Amino acid sequence: MSEHDDATTPHTPEQPPTAPRRAFERTHHGQTTSDPYAWMRDREDPELIAYLEAENSYADARTAHLEPLREKLFQEIKSRVQETDLSVPIGDGPWWYYGRTIEGQQYAVHARCPRPGPSAPRPALEPGEIPDGEQVLLDGNAAAAGHEFFSLGVLSVSPDHARLAAGIDLEGDERFDITITDIATGEILDQAITGAGYGGEFDNSGRYFFYVVVDDAWRPYQVWRHEVGTPREQDVKVYQEDDERFWLGLGGSRDDSHLVIDLATKTTTESWILPADQPLGDWRLVRERVDGVEYGIEIAGETILIVHNIRNREGDLAWTDLADPGEWLPIATSGPGERFLGVDAFDDFAVLTLRAEGLPTLRVLPRDAATESGFGEPLPWPGAGELTAVHLAENPEPATTELVITEESFIHPRATYAVQPLNGGRTLLKRQPVLGDFDPADYEESREWVQTVDGARIPVSIVRRAGLEPVGLAPGLLVGYGAYEISSDPYFSVARLSLLDRGVVYAVAHVRGGGELGRGWYEDGKLAAKTNTFTDFVAVADDLRGRWVHIDRLACEGGSAGGLLIGAALNLSPQSFRAAHAAVPFVDALTSMLDPDLPLTAGEWEEWGNPLADPAAYDTMAAYAPYDNVRATAYPAILATTSLHDTRVLVTEPAKWIARLREVATNDPVTRPILLHTEMSAGHGGRSGRYDAWREVAWEWAWLLDQLGAVETVH
């Protein structure tokens, strides 16, 4: 790398900054490419910080006229939220555990109150009511005091309910300092563990705490045992994963009998277990890893339930003996249109989590002593609606006779039910309150299908005000993700109502690369088939335009890997969109995948390919990576949002992308601006407090609504 080819161009906030260019070339597989913004990889470089701040000033100046709309959107969101509220109390041993929010405060208060016995009725508490005998476990507002960012990566109560481990991140870099306290007295027992990863578990005695450590590439790869109250130098490493493809997770069984280490790449898994009453013992392997074989375990008494893909890529359910897990015996297999995801065991039944017909749902397997496995055939779950997502909530007690589940859709707020799984009875425990004149009947949701260039049929969720007809006049927002087998499932959003009430058609493209239609849907949108994700998205966009949405009033939005989708779609078909919002976008994918020293890279090769070693993978990524394919054409108005402390998608990527767009695109900077906005005190998820998050959404959506000419409510 040479010295500066030029320096930051002086500018006023009303003029777009010009990023410095420095000569830099890279050569791989006989191909040499120029990357004049490669210098931005050092996020601590003062010149990069200056450039980001200049971009923020420019974005603020170009959007200053939107301040009244931003404030209006923020107030709309705030007015619909019951700010003082509490979650459904969940019983665990002698306590009811819950979270409370308080009007004017950014973060939740995690607390518990006494539970007289396992059959005691769940306390019926009004918002703002503090139950008798409440013990505050952690007040997020107190923990965050004096800091712009706050996040919890660990919140673990010991099995005897006496101790709390809380892991706190105050930077946004997803590294957590863990404090262990005596819950009854509030006494701090330990603060020795710093810079840990997500997750942590006590042994049964509460004397030992197991935690996760990350390597130099920020990959969780070690588990350590810490004796509470002792120096960290005395901690014992109990597991280390040397294969850089594997990430490590730490958890515990529902019955508190075992601690569990789960190891996973994008295609292969492995699990280790340790009796929780033998913290100094040896961890035991459930089944050795085999490339391409994925399995997930659930301990159920003296057996283990397993969801695996050995014979069926969409998943089977099996069981094995806890003492000798060598032979896996079948219980159930996924049928057409199904994908088995996991299983949870209880004393009287088990619950299978799966996808069916593109949506998440559940099935119950009753205990059956007449079967070798101890479980009967899965019972069908009652239909919940065309676009309703069903999820198992927190259910920590194996002896429970009821399940706490949630159901929600794009237009129906989340409802939490207590379900009698063996007879179908259900009781509504809480429906997410939406204040004001909200009525689900004022909105409509539907599933449509769009045929793409290779004949695949892409599901699309359409959400809009009731009565809005597909006559090609409305403004629209198309969102998508399409990676890692992650599904864009229906969820209710108070903030989204502000779009719908302005006549915006909100559409979700369930493109290949996601998991909506099973493992095959995912495999058809990764590696060499990755371009299917982008052509799917453009096909959906072009179907919406002129039918639901005015041909010149469609915006698009996606974050992280969904930001890569947005960047690639804009290069592929810039004329399909009026505006685009890319959040923490993975837009410099090829450069990142060529650098194994970066966070995530080695473990991501199974998703994107390894362009460092494989010329075909290099060619594939080089053909779609957004940064490398910016061209001299008119793009839509573009807003990229990012965070300085993001460790998943470095701020470098959107900064480089915007610099190249600014250099090459032929946009009119007045009618089609290209903007970069960086949160200087946040991580991958953006701002952390709820009021700050609402203001962030209001900032972004005010920009989109302005671009779409939809700033006024129409209902």
CA 627 to chain centre: 24
> Which of 334, 340, 360, 366 minimizes the C-alpha distance to 352?
340
Tokens standing for residue 222: 């070690």
Angle, CA of 680, 683 and 687, to the nearest 5°:
70
Q: In what order do the strands lie in the sheet with 236-240?
A: 200-202, 208-214, 220-227, 236-240
Within 10 Å of residue 31's Cβ, how many Cβ atoms?
11
User: How many C-beta atoms surround the C-beta of residue 491 within 10 A?
Assistant: 14
CB 308 within 8 Å of CB 318: yes
Interatomic CA distance for residues 638 and 59, integer angstroms: 11
Which residues, in sequence order, are CB contacts of 454 under 8 Å at separation 6+?
A: 532, 535
Asked whether 232 and 271 are in contact (CB, 8 A), the reply is: no
For the record, the structure tokens of 713 come out as 């409510």
Residue indicated by tokens 């993001």 = 646
- By C-alpha distance, which of 385, 265, 334 is closest to 520? 334
The candidate with the shortest Cα–Cα distance to 117, out of 139, 95, 150, is 95
Contact 398, 411 (CB under 8 A): no
Phi and psi of 660, rounded to 5°? -70, -40
Q: Are 441 and 465 in contact (CB under 8 A)?
A: no
- The first and second tokens of residue 324, run together, are 């000798």
Active site residues: 560, 646, 684
Dist. CA 237–CA 275, nearest whole Å: 17
**To which residue do tokens 């957590």 refer?**
176
| Numbers of helices and strands, H then E, in the chain | 12, 38
CA distances from 193 to 118, 164, 174, 283 (A): 35, 14, 14, 22
400 vs 252: CA distance, rounded Å = 18
Provide the 3-class DSSP secondary structure of residue 260.
strand
Kindly report the number of other CB atoms within 10 A of residue 432's CB atom: 16
Residue 209: both structure tokens together: 């705490």
Beta carbons within 8 Å of 358's beta carbon, 6+ residues apart:
337, 447, 459, 510, 516, 517
Backbone φ and ψ for 699, nearest 5 degrees, come out as: -60, -50
d(CA 506, CA 187): 50
The angle formed by the CA atoms of residues 451, 454 and 456, to the nearest 5 degrees, is 45
Vertex 277, ends 272 and 278: CA angle to 5°? Answer: 60
Q: CA-CA distance, 709 to 476, in Å (whole number)?
A: 11
Contact 205, 714 (CB under 8 A): no
The CA-based diameter of the chain, rounded to the nearest angstrom, is 80
How many beta carbons lie within 10 A of that of residue 28, not counting itself?
15
